[in-house]
Amino acid sequence: LCAGGAPSLSYQELKDLKKINVLHIDVRERWEVDRFGRIPASVNIPLGELVEALQMDPTEFKEQYNQKMPSKSDPVVFSCLAGTRSKQAVGFATSLGFS
């Protein structure tokens, strides 16, 4: 799900990860989700909102995205349409201390 040398997953690997409670963040724009469909069991946080979202108070994150905020050590997977934005998302998360 991530291009350009960053870690990537196959569809089956993602399905397997979701069985162990990984947070899947779709960083596409809302209009893309509306037009092309939502990825089941994912939360949509457009890339432009991601840095702010990952720094939110956990209660505010839960209210806004209807998901528990990940801790810095929780497994998180980012996806987008072609891999470019998900690669950026990995960089943003890493710079904020997520492992």
Catalytically annotated residues: 80
Task: Give the separation between CA 82 and CA 89, rounded to whole angstroms.
Answer: 13
CA distances from 14 to 17, 26, 39, 78, 79 (A): 5, 13, 11, 10, 10
Task: Give the separation between CA 5 and CA 2, rounded to whole angstroms.
Answer: 8
Whose CA is closest to 76, among 38, 37, 45, 49? 45
Task: Give the separation between CA 72 and CA 61, rounded to whole angstroms.
Answer: 14
